Amino acid sequence: MHDAVRRVAAGLVALVLAGVSDAAAQRPNRDAPPAVPQPIELKGKVAVVQPGMIGVEAEDGKYQVQIAPRDTLVVVTGTAVPESLRPGLFVRFSAELDNDRVTTPIEELTIITPSDQNPLGDFPEGDDPTQEGGPRTIVGQVKSFKKGRLQVGIPPKRVIRAELAESPKLDVTISDYSFVRAGDAIVVRGKQPGRGQVIADHVAVELAEPLGASSAKRKSPARGSRVNRRSGGASQPEQPQRDAPEAETAPNE
């Protein structure tokens, strides 16, 4: 009788201990270090752009890419049309000057972001930094652009006047992701702290269409693309636009 009772008691104790062990095994260890974010390289298309975040559609799903202004290197490249040259943008081009006027129409120009590698100013292209004649590299801020005539401000308070060629080649190499639009190709390198999340170290975007192309299309609508208001017809709704965002004004030069 006593042996049977002892056996039952021993079995109950074993069950209780087993339950405690299983519960301890399932309980998260608060002292354990958090999971280390894994490196990731992501390729896809831009879905949406918001302050501090770019939504990306990749082959294996959707991601939210976090952009930190001081920690994420952003490079946006592509082409542009002359209509994109709004006041406030920064540009770089090569030209010869005569009293701060470019002597020949500009054939090539790049929209840039000023940096240590792209300081604002007027720089000789030869080996002699004191050279006054010959071709020079102009890096400055667009003051105005009308009917092919361009005015660019450079330090300290100079204004370079130029004209664009009839069919200029305009490139884009900037670090401002506010120019990015849905459909642009994107490559992201960074760390993945969780499913669908990426903390970006490097973001490279290739513009799907030239910067300012939408503005150029609106200024030259196709014949018959809108209904004449005088005939009683309703005007067509405007399509989504892709224009250069308003650029920040440079510090006082």
Decide if 76 is inside a domain.
yes
Q: Specify the DSSP class assigned to residue 182.
A: T
Assign 101 to helix, strand or coil: strand
- pLDDT score, position 132: 72
Q: How many CA atoms lie within 13 A of 220 on its CB side?
A: 5
Decide if 187 is inside a domain.
yes
- pLDDT score, position 134: 86
Provide mean pLDDT across the span 6-24. Answer: 51
- pLDDT score, position 38: 92
Decide if 46 is inside a domain.
yes
Decide if 23 is inside a domain.
no
Please say if the pLDDT value at position 49 is more than 90: yes
State the virtual CA torsion across 20, 24, 26, 29 in degrees, nearest 10. Answer: 170
- pLDDT score, position 151: 98
Give the residue numbers spanning the domain of 123. 40-215
pLDDT tens digits along 137-186? 999 999 999 999 999 999 999 999 999 999 999 999 999 999 999 999 99
pLDDT tens digits along 205-237? 999 999 999 766 666 554 443 433 333 444 333
Q: Both tokens of residue 87?
A: 């006041």
Decide if 74 is inside a domain.
yes
Buried b vs exposed e over 146-166: b needs ≥16 C-beta within 10 Å?
eeeebbbbbbeeeebebebee
Decide if 70 is inside a domain.
yes
Domain count, the chain: 1
Decide if 235 is inside a domain.
no
| Local confidence band at 26 (pLDDT 50, 70, 90 cut-offs) | low
Give the global pTM: 0.73
**Number of Cβ within a 10 Å radius of residue 252:** 7
| Local confidence band at 14 (pLDDT 50, 70, 90 cut-offs) | low
Beta strands in 81-210 (DSSP E): 90-95, 97-98, 101-102, 106-112, 121-124, 136-146, 149-154, 158-174, 185-194, 197-206
pLDDT tens digits along 99-136? 999 999 999 999 999 999 889 999 999 777 667 778 99
Cα–Cα dist 10/18, whole Å? 12
Q: Report which of 213, 201, 163 is spatially closest to residue 39, judged by C-alpha positions.
A: 201
The mean predicted confidence, pLDDT, of the chain is 82
Provide mean pLDDT across the span 12-19. Answer: 49
- Measure Cα distances from 59 to 46, 63, 145, 155 in Å: 12, 11, 42, 47
Decide if 246 is inside a domain.
no
Assign 178 to helix, strand or coil: helix
